[in-house]
Amino acid sequence: MPSSTAPEIVVTGIGVASGLGHGKDSLLEGLLAGRDVFSVLSRPGRQAPDGQTAFMGVEMPEPPDLLPKRVARTAGLGARVAISVLDEAWREAGLDDVDPERIGLVVGGSNLFSREQLLAVRDYANRLAFIPPRHGHVFMDSDVCGLCAASFAIRAFANTVGAASASGAVAVIQAAEALLGGRVDACIALGALQDVSYVDLLGFRALGALGSEKFAGQPGRACRPFDAEHDGFLYGESCAALILRRAGEAGPGYGSLVGAAQVADGQRGPEPDPEGQQRAIAGALAQAGLRAADIDYVNAHATSTPKGDEVERETLLAMGLEHAWVNAGKSILGHGLSAAGAVELAAVLLQMRAGRLHPIRNLEHPPEPGLRWVMGGPQTHRIRHALKLSFGFGGVDTALVLRAPQGENYGL
Amino acid sequence: MDRDSILAIIIGQVREVVPDLGAQPISGGDAMADLGVNSIERSEIVMNSLEAIGLDLPMVQTHGPRNLGELADLLHAKLNRT
């Protein structure tokens, strides 16, 4: 990872899909506006067939048709969305000019197609002899890698990495390590769409992680990170691709990754661990050669679960980050699970370029002692150093430190 | 079900699985390989055709035909034997 001697990593291309639309322009505009895109989930397989559920969250519009029809009909939603975000990022970063054997892909996420597997069980239960041959490879997460490498000239490596809701951030870390180790000259970190089924959502609900009983029937009010009325996370479809390069071999891009840390905190399940979170932040700051005082913006993990939000606030206070602006992408996008870390890192970089921070939706009664919340509307702010946190079930804590490109006019 | 109806079903499945063939004419004399159909697509076309005509047959018993017409002949013979 970058240090005083190692080369820096820059992000030179971004592609995003979320409930706000396809493309990074829709993401930035919708975030700054704090647009409400929550509703009762309606994609097939998202509600129990007995009509006993009304899970709320965010679903994205259909991705653009970029694949040949014969390929598109065999690709799951998550795979088609991956192609869409990769296409956007690839073209922006000009990867057609890089040797394919020096381009790698790390896809963050595991168990990506569970909704489509549930639908397959439903559709073929009474005619098992006719399961389509393609099911033998498209049920695997690695189909995202295969489809991406079959559609774009990626010929170094392509594989997945699973770290629950920190998968997107871990993909970024592993992509950066592949660059710093000299394995590739460009590396794509893709936070994959986690296409959850109603069975997964029932599990989250039984676990006590999912909102929202308090705001049943009011999807737009249900997701409220850090607010006194928060009662759990809401699912949100999303996906993002980031193109990482070594600084000096590409322009300054959106900004530099100057510190990153991932720790295992020893928790098996969903319990947040303040020591692990602090260790991750301290590690990332040390790598960046920065102090907490240098961080002026924190993009929080902030899922809207009472315990998670509270532990994260304590972590930020304990680390001396009370001066930094704080916002939370999940308040607008919902929780993308495997995709969240990558999508929210994209949001950090887009806000860095725009010189504006998006508000935390539904934060009406923040806890005390507080942090420097972005509330009510967007905030003009020139980011110099940002901290991005992502945590995952199974005891994964990550922290990424980003530095804005140098230059008088950047982010103004 | 007669042999030409089975051939029509097979050709319909070729168009379903490989929509990129568009309006290109397809007849019983065409071989799937010559139409650019890959091996996984061939399996899906045969499997979908079997289901459409109501034949539950091990895939291995569908091997051998050199074109769509011969496949229709084979499936027609199997159907009449059941």
The answer to whether A130 contacts B51, with C-beta atoms less than 8 Å apart, is yes
User: Domain check: are A182 and A270 in the same one?
Assistant: no
* CB-CB contact of A196 with A143 (8 Å): no
User: Domain check: are A328 and A353 in the same one?
Assistant: yes
User: Domain check: are A216 and A264 in the same one?
Assistant: no
* CB-CB contact of A58 with A333 (8 Å): yes
Which whole number is the average pLDDT over A358-371? 96
pLDDT of residue A409: 59
Q: How many domains does chain A have?
A: 2
User: Domain check: are A72 and A114 in the same one?
Assistant: yes
pLDDT of residue A212: 86
Distance, CA of A90 to CA of A28 (rounded, Å): 19
pLDDT higher than 90, residue A118: yes
* Cβ–Cβ contact A126 with B under 8 A: no
Determine, yes or no, domain membership for A24.
Answer: yes
The answer to whether B50 contacts A73, with C-beta atoms less than 8 Å apart, is no
Distance, CA of A206 to CA of A229 (rounded, Å): 19
Average pLDDT, chain A: 96
Q: Which residues of B touch A73 (CB under 8 A)?
A: 17, 19
pLDDT of residue A1: 54
pLDDT band of residue A406 (cuts 50, 70, 90) is confident
Lowest mean pLDDT among A150-154, A390-394, B77-81: B77-81
Structure tokens at A62: 């259909």
pLDDT higher than 50, residue A4: no
Nearest residue to B57 (alpha-carbon basis) of A130, A294, A162, A339 = A130
pLDDT higher than 60, residue A412: no
CATH number at residue A328: 3.40.47.10
User: Domain check: are A388 and A275 in the same one?
Assistant: yes
Determine, yes or no, domain membership for A301.
Answer: yes
Non-local (6+) Cβ contacts of A170 within 8 A are A108, A161, A163, A262, A341, A392, A396, A398
A33-82 pLDDT, tens digit each:
999 999 999 999 999 999 999 999 999 999 999 999 999 999 999 999 99
Domains and CATH numbers, chain B: 3-81 (1.10.1200.10)
A345-356 core/surface letters (b: 16 or more CB in 10 A; e: else)? bbbbbbbbbbbb
Of B19, B20, B43, Cβ closest to residue A133: B43
* CB-CB contact of A391 with A166 (8 Å): yes
Distance, CA of A9 to CA of B8 (rounded, Å): 57
ipTM rounded to 2 decimals:
0.91
User: Domain check: are A75 and A118 in the same one?
Assistant: yes
pLDDT of residue B81: 81
Of the candidates A246, A270, A305, which is a domain's last residue? A246
Distance, CA of A7 to CA of A14 (rounded, Å): 21
A108: β partners: A161, A191
User: Domain check: are A225 and A283 in the same one?
Assistant: no
User: Secondary structure of chain B in the HEC alphabet?
Assistant: CCHHHHHHHHHHHHHHHCHHHCCCCCCCCCCCCCCCCCHHHHHHHHHHHHHHHCCCCCHHHHCCCCCHHHHHHHHHHHHHHC
Determine, yes or no, domain membership for A410.
Answer: no
User: Domain check: are A242 and A294 in the same one?
Assistant: no
A234-286 pLDDT, tens digit each:
999 999 999 999 999 998 999 999 999 999 999 999 999 999 999 999 999 99
Structure tokens at A379: 């905030």
Q: Domain of A70?
A: 9-246
pLDDT higher than 90, residue A7: no
